[in-house]
Amino acid sequence: MPTDEITQKVSERYAKAANTGEQMCCPTSYDMGLLKTFIPDEVLKISYGCGTPAGLKTVQAGETVLDIGSGGGIDCFEASRLVGPNGRVIGIDMTETMLAIARKNASVVAANLGYPASNVEFHKGLADAMPVDDGTIDLLISNCVINLAPDKRRVFCEMYRVAKPGGRFTISDIVSDQTVPQYLVHDTEKWGDCLSGALTLADYMNGLATAGFRGIHLIKFSPWRVIDGIHFFSVTLTGYKLHKAPPDSSIQYATLRGPFSRLVDEQGTTYRRGIPQAMAPASARHLSLPPYAEYFLQSSEPIDLDHHDPRWSAVLPADAPCSWQGHYALLAGPFAEAADDDHHTYRRGEPLEICSKTVAVLGTTGYHPHFVILNRASERVTGESVMCSPEGSCC
């Protein structure tokens, strides 16, 4: 299907929903009680998404925030509250009907917040050609919109272009555990349902990394729908555009604490638990990002760890039989690759079948934030417990 046709049909679908009040099917989790105190019902009733990127603790006072696919303005107006009267919020959308509703209500929201004037502006534009200057945005947000864009890699490059050095994104979107087949890709109705345009989690995260973002990691996920054996689920991801400035020159070594036995960062550097690794400047910048900090000791001199050191962390599987129940694990960063103490190797975004013991390991504190766990079993599994290996062979 031609790109222009997809864009036109998606725009028409959302314009129709705005006029008819149709409820689009993506899962949302807004705090409507709070939003109703300052956002008009006209906006709230046409709010579609699969997360709450503006509502997370990522928006800071005084920042410039860009909402990609702002729709009726709900996320822009929530961001407006959070950045305060001295901040700035920009919304871009391709649908005139949505833009008209958002613009009409901007002054109402500003008055409800007690601002002297609105700090929100709305522009017509596409996610893959944003009408925004280079390097001007502190935080990019988007709520179940990028999967509607036919050329997502171009969108990711545009995101990187407009972000400030040191800027970041927090986006919610629908992804899949398998490549969406062509018969769904060419189903125009399912484009509007956030299905046909979904990338796999691996392709989505790799696309962001290819554009230049680093420290890309999962904030939360929620299962959504299963169609013809393909699992579609909502993810909220965060990542960073690194400063070009050199890191603190006194930091020259990093030692992996665990619980992972081995990690590969987005620069391709491998770290093994307890063994100090000399760092190049690019890797040092990498490990300065928040999602890495708790897993490493960083120092000017090499630090060795062993299992007697209280800073060492490991989670061993239970020494007991397990069962195969249909679970699959998908590593969701910020690591390109990781290994546990039961010889599983996880590659970012790629499903790996895991047994019940590994499900328990990945549910612990050090592992849990970085994994999506799906169950592909269509019926209740009744197999007997076995002694298993990570390759799936049982005896």
Note the pLDDT tens digit of each residue in 12-43. Answer: 444 444 444 444 555 556 888 999 999 999 99
Helices (H) and strands (E) in the chain, counts: 12, 17
User: Highest mean pLDDT range out of 10-24, 98-112, 145-159, 185-199?
Assistant: 98-112
Q: Is-above-0.75 flag for pTM?
A: yes
- Running DSSP on this structure, what letter comes out for residue 90? E
pLDDT at 9: 47
- Running DSSP on this structure, what letter comes out for residue 200? B
Helix ranges (H only) for 199-346 are 201-211, 281-287, 290-293
Tokens of 258: 């665990």
Question: Computed from CA positions of residues 20, 23, 29, 32, in that sequence, does the dihedral angle turn out positive or negative?
Answer: positive
Say yes or no to pLDDT of 246 above 80. Answer: no
Tokens of 6: 């997809």
Q: H or E segment at 162? A: helix 152-162
Say yes or no to pLDDT of 5 above 80. Answer: no
Work out the percent of the chain whose per-residue pLDDT is above 90.
68
Say yes or no to pLDDT of 260 above 80. Answer: yes
Residue type, 185: V
- Running DSSP on this structure, what letter comes out for residue 126? B
pLDDT digits (tens, 9 = 90+) for 35-64: 999 999 999 988 777 778 877 888 999 999
Q: Are the beta carbons of 359 and 373 closer than 8 angstroms? A: yes
Helix axes 96-113, 3-20, angle to 10 degrees: 50
Identify the CA nearest to 374 among candidates 349, 345, 340, 338.
Answer: 349
**Phi, psi (deg, nearest 5) at residue 274:** 85, -10
Q: How far is CA 173 from CA 49, 107, 158, 164, 303, in A?
A: 8, 29, 17, 22, 40
Say yes or no to pLDDT of 202 above 50. Answer: yes
